[in-house]
Amino acid sequence: MLKKNRAGYTLIELLVVTGLLSLIIIGSSSLFINTLTHKIRLSTNQEIKLEGDYIIDQVSFFIRNAQNIFDPCTGGSLRIQNSDGNETTFRAISDAGITRVASASATYTAYLSSSEYLVDELNFDCQNNPNN
């Protein structure tokens, strides 16, 4: 009787191992891509929230220290009289085709939002305080 030499693998065994490794690699790469996409989305949302919080803080500071808030303040702009008597207007301004939130005084325009994100809409709604 002849003795068979089993020093290698059969073609079927190699195909099964290759198929299983391919499934593992595809699954792990899909998981990696989904995780990376989710992280980028969360990071972008966090940046937008921080920028919005900064804008609200700046406008709130000016309103708290204002001598007067001019009517009408509904719509896309808010005009106030600062404690030094000068006027500042908050509104959306187009800067090189990108709409940004800005604080404009008689001599200077300061952009409160970055050019990285587009401001779609800016509205102010002032209400009188009956206790004031």
Per-10-residue mean pLDDT of the chain, 132 residues long, equals 70 94 96 96 94 92 89 78 89 86 87 87 78 62
Give the residue from 122, 113, 111 showing the smallest Cα distance to 47.
113
Q: What is the pLDDT of residue 96?
A: 84
Q: Which neighbouring-strand residues pair with 103?
A: 90, 110
Handedness of CA 49, 53, 54, 58 (dihedral sign): positive
CA triplet 52, 56, 61: central angle to 5 degrees?
150
Structure tokens given for 43: 């990071």
What does the alpha-carbon distance between residue 88 and residue 109 come to, in Å, rounded to a whole number?
9
Q: What is the pLDDT of residue 7?
A: 74
Q: What is the pLDDT of residue 70?
A: 83
Q: What is the pLDDT of residue 1?
A: 56
Q: What is the pLDDT of residue 69?
A: 86
Q: What is the pLDDT of residue 29?
A: 96
